[in-house]
């Protein structure tokens, strides 16, 4: 008799898992699934898949150290071809916790890590419920199928590593703002020299726009220094009055330096049913005779949220640490 199974694919078939037909599966997000084995839906087995790059995991010893949370715990460890298996069980207060880690090595430096976590009360009644589940786990784990080819999420793992470890160089634009950006990012200044496109990948698929502006102030107003907050608040109201924004934040540092940022949403001009989102930052400095403004616009073009988030994280670091020079 052929045993029927339920199948679930995590991170677009980066890993495929199989479960008994009577199990209940709930996909929390593309990388996480919760599994229950009865109608009561308790206890719940949590499973998460993570892709990452790590050139330092270059031998079995380093991989073993990476997988072990605590050297004092009693754990099981084995290797089968390019897959490593680690498991342990510990008691936390009045509950037991079972952890299984399955690490697949996709050479030369990419890894997929699946983590199983199961908790239950340390009681006689719970033992009757948990034992049948524990008997099923080895087969579920042994039947995991990892994609033999690189997937989009493996590429994103490499992107995350490269962004985190990129060599930064100082760029001074228009003698107005100083940035530290990855060496491989290409900056194209406009012929008019008032804006720049910064390309963040070799294919020029991802870029952001930098522009600078000046607003002259009334020289007869001697209270500009005292009213810098009001000037900036008025400026923000003006630049956002016809824009749908959310997640807006305003930060102020010393010497009347401000950072204002938000997500802007607008209807696509070619497709009214589509909404385009962009992250926009304004670096603002109030001087006695003018306001200096440098804007950054990054359109969230990827349909994969994680890809947008990786670039946003790097841009947040760069823009937050930038310096207006005037």
In three-state form (DSSP H/G/I as H, E/B as E, the rest C), the secondary structure along 93-156 is CCEEEEEEEEEEEECCCEEEEEEEEEEEECCHHHHHHHHHHHHHHHHHHHCCEECCCCCHHHHH
Q: How many domains does the chain have?
A: 2
Q: Are residues 175 and 140 in the same domain?
A: no
Q: Are residues 20 and 132 in the same domain?
A: yes
What is the pLDDT, as a whole number, of residue 234? 92
Answer whether 239's CB lies under 8 Å from 248's CB.
Answer: no
Mean predicted confidence (pLDDT) in 78-83: 95
Answer whether 47's CB lies under 8 Å from 9's CB.
Answer: no
Structural domain includes residue 156? no
Mean pLDDT of the chain: 91
Q: Which residues contact 168 (CB under 8 A, 6 or more apart)?
A: 180, 181, 182, 183
What is the pLDDT, as a whole number, of residue 1? 39
Q: Print the domain residue range for 91.
A: 5-151
Let me know the angle formed at the C-alpha of 175 by 173 and 180, rounded to the nearest 5 degrees. 45
DSSP 8-state assignment for residue 58: -
pLDDT reading at 135 higher than 50: yes
Helix-helix angle 305-320:152-164, to 10 degrees: 10
What is the pLDDT, as a whole number, of residue 220? 58
pLDDT above 70 coverage of the chain, percent: 96
The enclosing domain of 63 has a CATH number of 3.40.1000.10
| Pairing relationship of beta strands 32-36 and 75-80 according to DSSP bridges | unpaired
Mean predicted confidence (pLDDT) in 156-181: 95
Q: Are residues 65 and 195 in the same domain?
A: no
Q: Are residues 237 and 147 in the same domain?
A: no
Most confidently modeled range among 71-80, 236-245, 276-285: 276-285
pLDDT tens-place string over residues 88-127:
999 888 899 999 999 999 999 999 999 999 999 988 888 8
- Answer with the one of 124, 151, 178 that is the final residue of a domain: 151
Structural domain includes residue 158? no
> Considering the entire predicted model, what is its pTM?
0.86
**What are the helix (H) ranges across the chain?**
60-67, 124-142, 152-164, 228-240, 305-320
Residue 289, burial from CB neighbour count under 10 angstroms (0-12, 13-18, 19+): exposed
Structural domain includes residue 231? yes
Mean predicted confidence (pLDDT) in 201-214: 92
Tell me which residue of 130, 113, 110, 166 sits closest to 43, measured CA to CA: 130
pLDDT tens-place string over residues 294-309:
999 999 999 889 999 9
pLDDT reading at 2 higher than 50: no
- The confidence band for 3, taking pLDDT boundaries of 50, 70 and 90, is low
Between CA 117 and CA 32 the distance in angstroms is 11
pLDDT above 90 coverage of the chain, percent: 75
On the question of a cis peptide bond just before residue 43, with omega within 30 degrees of 0, the verdict is yes
pLDDT reading at 55 higher than 80: yes
- The confidence band for 77, taking pLDDT boundaries of 50, 70 and 90, is very high
On the question of a cis peptide bond just before residue 172, with omega within 30 degrees of 0, the verdict is no
pLDDT tens-place string over residues 210-259:
999 999 987 655 555 558 899 999 999 999 988 899 999 999 987 789 99
- Answer with the one of 102, 121, 151 that is the final residue of a domain: 151
């Amino acid at each position: 008799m052929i045993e029927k199974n339920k199948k679930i694919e995590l991170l677009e078939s980066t890993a495929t898992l199989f479960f008994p037909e009577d199990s209940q599966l709930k996909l929390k997000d593309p990388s996480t699934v919760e599994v229950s084995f009865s109608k009561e839906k308790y206890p719940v087995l949590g499973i998460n898949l993570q892709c990452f790059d790590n050139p330092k995991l270059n031998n079995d010893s380093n991989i073993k150290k990476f997988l072990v949370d605590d050297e004092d715990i009693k754990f099981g460890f084995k290797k089968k071809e390019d897959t490593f298996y680690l498991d342990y069980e510990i008691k936390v207060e009045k509950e037991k916790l079972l952890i299984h880690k399955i690490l697949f090595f996709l050479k030369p430096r990419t890894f997929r890590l699946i983590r199983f976590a199961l908790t239950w009360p340390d009681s006689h009644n719970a033992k009757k419920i948990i034992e049948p589940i524990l008997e099923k786990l080895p087969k579920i784990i042994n039947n995991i199928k990892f994609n033999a080819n690189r997937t989009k999420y493996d590429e994103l793992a490499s992107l995350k590593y490269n962004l985190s470890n990129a060599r930064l160089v100082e760029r001074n634009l228009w003698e107005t703002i100083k940035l530290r950006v990855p060496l491989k990012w290409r900056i194209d200044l406009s012929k008019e020299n008032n804006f720049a496109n910064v390309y963040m990948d070799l294919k020029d698929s991802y870029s952001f726009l930098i522009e600078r502006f000046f607003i002259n102030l009334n020289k007869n107003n001697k209270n500009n220094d005292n009213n810098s907050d009001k000037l900036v608040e008025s400026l923000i109201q003006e630049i956002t009055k016809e824009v749908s924004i959310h997640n807006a934040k305003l930060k102020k540092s010393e010497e009347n330096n401000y950072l204002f940022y938000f997500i802007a949403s607008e209807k696509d001009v070619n497709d009214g049913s589509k909404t385009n989102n962009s992250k926009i930052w304004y670096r603002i400095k109030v001087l006695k005779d003018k306001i200096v403004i440098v804007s950054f616009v990054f359109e969230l073009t990827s349909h994969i949220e994680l890809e947008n988030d990786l670039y946003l994280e790097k841009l947040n670091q760069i823009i937050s640490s930038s310096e207006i020079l005037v």
